[in-house]
Amino acid sequence: MPVSNFLDICELSLNKKGEELCGDKVKYIKTDKYATIVLSDGLGSGVKANILATLTTEILIRMLRAELPLEEVLKTIIATLPICQVRKIAYSTFSIIQVNCETNHFRTINFDNPPLFYFHHGHVIRFETHTEKILDRNIHIAEGQLERGDFLGAVSDGVLYAGMGVALNFGWGWDNIAHYIEEIWEHKSHTARAIVQEVIHKTYTLYQGEVGDDATFVGIYVRPRKPLMIFTGPPLDEHRDHEYIERLLSFDGRKAICGGTTGNIVAKYLNERVEMDLATMRKDLPPIGHLSAVDLVTEGILTISKATEYIRNCNGDVSRLQFDNNGAYLLAREILEADSTLFLVGQQINEFYQNPLLPKNISIRRSLIEELVQFLRDRQKEVTIEYC
């Protein structure tokens, strides 16, 4: 996938009424080479279905990440999924979407889940599939090329059959879902979350609040990448300040500065002063500042610490971030709305913030950043740290 493009992935589920656990499971992983998504639907509902679906997704993700031959992957997973002797169906079904990030080529693999959805320029495209028989099971495979603005989606049958039995209905159905997504395209913002959220909300409505089966929708939308660079802490070698400032100012994306000293270094380079916005000051947080060439200027340690707390509290979901017009909230929002974040971390120690129990070469700033980065990486965010 070209650097200018980003695979925006979102998944949402509805649990069957009365069940604490969802019998569907989605897992995805991004590497430099591939983005891989697996949706599994366990037989039945509740704990048993959840275990079956989780086992299926874990095996598939691990084997696909290891880039094992597809036939070997499918034979392994199918061999672990025995047939229910009563209903004569597999204990767990699955859909796989895999995108080559270098070529934009995609492949979908489907075993007993509803057909996948593919939209190009907002219109549904029925791509051709071929069927391979593996251990007497029919596996449906399709391939194609993604472009910016394309959307790929997979659903469990709980979405497809929403509304079944209401006024002699046989469920929502694939064609109606496809048409509904086309309508979303005309009236809503184009993000994976906007599309997935609307479909799941409609599914819940069709069930009239009595969800009859676990229902899951996962989608990928190809859109322009939104990168962020955060410059925090003065560089170790002050003679290289200009080098790092120029790198920040020439960065093609959002730009943030965290730290009073760092902000003053950049302000001096720009021949400006950091203008403070006192309306953003809080009891435990200094106010933000303004510089002409930078999107956000905040204090350093306290703000990074509080922003990390906000990000943890909303579990990395920007839609659950509690609004407050302060530096930590604004920094947290920048980080969560970014697709990729580069932290440029100066290693010059501010003795005022240094923990006397830590070695001189380990700063509180560095520890805070590394903790935040690990949290973001655990949630599939693209994050890089560079020390200067």
Co-location of 373 and 269 in the same domain: yes
- SS3 (DSSP) at 363: coil
Tell me the C-alpha distance between 103 and 116, whole Å. 21
Residue of 338, 327, 332 whose CA lies nearest to 312: 332
Q: Are residues 49 and 108 in the same domain?
A: yes
Three-state secondary-structure class, residue 386: strand
- The predicted model gives 244-267 an average pLDDT of 95
Where residue 95 sits, what CATH number does that domain have? 3.60.40.10
> Does position 125 have pLDDT exceeding 50, yes or no?
yes
User: What gap in Å lies between CA 249 and CA 269, rounded to an integer?
Assistant: 11
Residues 120 and 215 both lie in one domain: yes
Task: Give the model's pLDDT for residue 71.
Answer: 84
Residues 270 and 361 in one domain: yes
Confidence of residue 168 (pLDDT cuts 50, 70, 90): very low
Residue 182 scores a pLDDT above 60: yes
pLDDT in tens, 5-30: 899 999 999 999 999 999 999 999 98
* Overall average pLDDT of the 181-202 stretch: 89
257: left (phi over 0), alpha (psi -120 to 50) or beta: beta
Q: Which of 224, 252, 287 is the last residue of a domain?
A: 224
- The Cα 132–Cα 58 span in angstroms is 23
Q: What are 142's strand-pairing partners?
A: 108
Answer yes or no: do 76 and 120 share one domain: yes
Does pLDDT of 267 surpass 70?
A: yes
Domain stops at, among 162, 189, 224: 224
Q: How far apart are the first and last CA of the chain?
A: 29
Answer whether residue 167 shows pLDDT above 60.
no
- CA dist 272 → 262, 275, 294 (Å): 13, 9, 12
Based on the fold, state whether residues 247 and 126 are members of the same structural domain.
no
Q: Which tokens is 277 given? A: 């916005």
Same domain, 212 and 163: yes
The two three-digit tokens of residue 380, written as one number: 């599939």
Clarify whether residues 279 and 146 are in a common domain.
no
**pLDDT tens sequence across 216-249:** 999 999 999 899 999 998 998 888 999 999 999 9
On whether both 88 and 218 belong to a single domain, the answer is yes
- Residues 41-56, mean pLDDT to the nearest whole number: 89
If one counts the domains in the chain, the total is 2
Beta strands at 294-298 and 254-258: parallel, antiparallel or unpaired? parallel
Residues 368 and 237 in one domain: yes
Same domain, 369 and 341: yes
Q: Show the domain range for 315.
A: 227-387
Structure tokens at 276: 């403070």
134 pLDDT higher than 90: no
* Same domain flag for 231 and 220: no
Q: Which residues pair with 143 in a beta bridge?
A: 107
